[in-house]
């Protein structure tokens, strides 16, 4: 029986093998981009270490280590499905996107200006706010759970919605196709352990960004700081002009 090392030496690489490797590399790169900045990334590093150990065990013919690694890999898929069901759902939704379908969902430059104007004023007053911008993945589930508005994006309307004492100030506003679709929306909270010291608004913003490709703007009521959540990451301490530039650049990524 030939060893793995001898089998590798006898391999004859063809153009089909090169194409196969290229496709696998592109797929892996896409997966790494999807899980970048999430807790799944840490698990991926661990899996890569296990893979290297298994490969070395086969090359060096370390029977005990090879047997142990094989058992771990057998049960690993079931554990991954349970631990990372949210990430898997988000990844499948992202793979299903097709820009050729002409789906809208990004914030138009016309709507960005009044939105940032409202955020600037809310931050100055230290009024908490949570504004969701739908992109390619539908937010209909959350829109249906809030109070439907269907209005143009207006700075005065956004400021009024989030003013303390109004019926909808505690929830989120969702902007869809350049219009305010709903207010008073409850969003899923993130379980990210790195959010210690942050309130429910930041957790809700990050939670939705982990499940969809939406952009979520947060204004802290404690210090008036502005943050933007996207793809499971939270960018904090933004100036209004920085936010406007980010929204403009993000609108071209769809």
Tens-digit pLDDT profile for residues 21-43: 888 888 777 766 666 555 566 66
H-type alpha helices, the chain:
4-9, 15-35, 39-59, 63-83, 85-95, 109-125, 140-144, 155-162, 200-211, 240-250
Q: What is the pLDDT of residue 126?
A: 93
Q: Is the dihedral of CA 46, 48, 50, 53 positive or negative?
A: negative
- Strands of the sheet with 147-152, listed across from one edge: 147-152, 179-185, 172-176, 129-133, 215-219, 226-230, 233-238
Question: What mean pLDDT value characterizes the chain?
Answer: 79
Residue from 191, 192, 180 nearest 129 by CA: 180
- Identify whether the C-beta of residue 206 lies closer than 8 Å to the C-beta of residue 232: yes
- Identify whether the C-beta of residue 195 lies closer than 8 Å to the C-beta of residue 38: no
The residue extents of the domains of the chain are 4-96, 109-250
pTM of the model: 0.62
Residue 77 CB neighbours (<10 A): 9
Q: What distance in Å separates the CA atoms of residue 178 and residue 152, rounded to the nearest whole number? A: 7
DSSP 194: G
Q: What distance in Å separates the CA atoms of residue 74 and residue 76, rounded to the nearest whole number? A: 6
For 32-41, 148-157, 206-215, which range has the lowest pLDDT when averaged over its residues?
32-41
Q: What is the pLDDT of residue 212?
A: 85
- Class of domain 109-250 as given by CATH: alpha beta
Residue 99 has pLDDT above 50, yes or no: no
Backbone φ and ψ for 97, nearest 5 degrees, come out as: -70, 140
Computed on alpha carbons and rounded to an integer, the radius of gyration of the chain in Å comes to 23
For 68-82, 147-161, 236-250, which range has the lowest pLDDT when averaged over its residues?
68-82
Backbone φ and ψ for 125, nearest 5 degrees, come out as: -85, -10
DSSP 190: P
For 18-27, 73-82, 161-170, 227-236, which range has the lowest pLDDT when averaged over its residues?
73-82
For tokens 């430059």, the residue is 109
The percentage of the chain sitting over the pLDDT mark of 70, rounded to a whole number, equals 74
Can you give the length of the chain in residues?
254
């Amino acid at each position: 029986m030939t060893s793995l090392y001898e089998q590798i030496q006898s391999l004859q690489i063809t153009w089909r093998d090169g194409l196969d490797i290229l496709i696998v590399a592109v797929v892996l790169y896409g997966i790494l981009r999807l899980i970048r900045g999430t807790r799944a990334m840490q698990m991926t590093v661990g899996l890569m270490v296990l893979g290297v150990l298994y490969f070395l065990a086969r090359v060096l013919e370390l029977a005990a280590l090879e047997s142990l690694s094989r058992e771990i890999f057998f049960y690993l898929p079931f554990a991954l499905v349970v631990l990372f069901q949210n990430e898997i759902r988000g990844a499948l939704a992202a793979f299903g996107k097709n820009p050729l379908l002409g789906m809208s969902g990004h914030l138009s430059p016309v709507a960005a200006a009044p939105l940032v104007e409202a955020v600037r004023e809310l931050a100055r007053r230290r009024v908490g706010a949570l504004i969701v911008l739908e992109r390619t993945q539908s937010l209909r589930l959350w829109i249906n759970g809030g109070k439907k508005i269907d209005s143009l994006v207006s700075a005065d309307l956004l400021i009024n919605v989030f003013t303390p004492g109004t019926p909808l100030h505690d929830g989120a506003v969702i902007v869809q196709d350049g219009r305010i679709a709903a207010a008073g929306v409850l969003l899923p909270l993130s379980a990210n352990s790195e959010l210690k010291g942050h309130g429910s608004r930041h957790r809700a913003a990050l939670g939705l960004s982990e499940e969809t490709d939406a952009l979520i703007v947060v204004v802290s009521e404690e210090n008036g700081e502005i943050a933007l959540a996207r793809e499971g990451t939270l960018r904090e301490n933004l100036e209004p002009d920085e936010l406007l530039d980010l929204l403009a650049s993000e609108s071209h990524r769809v």
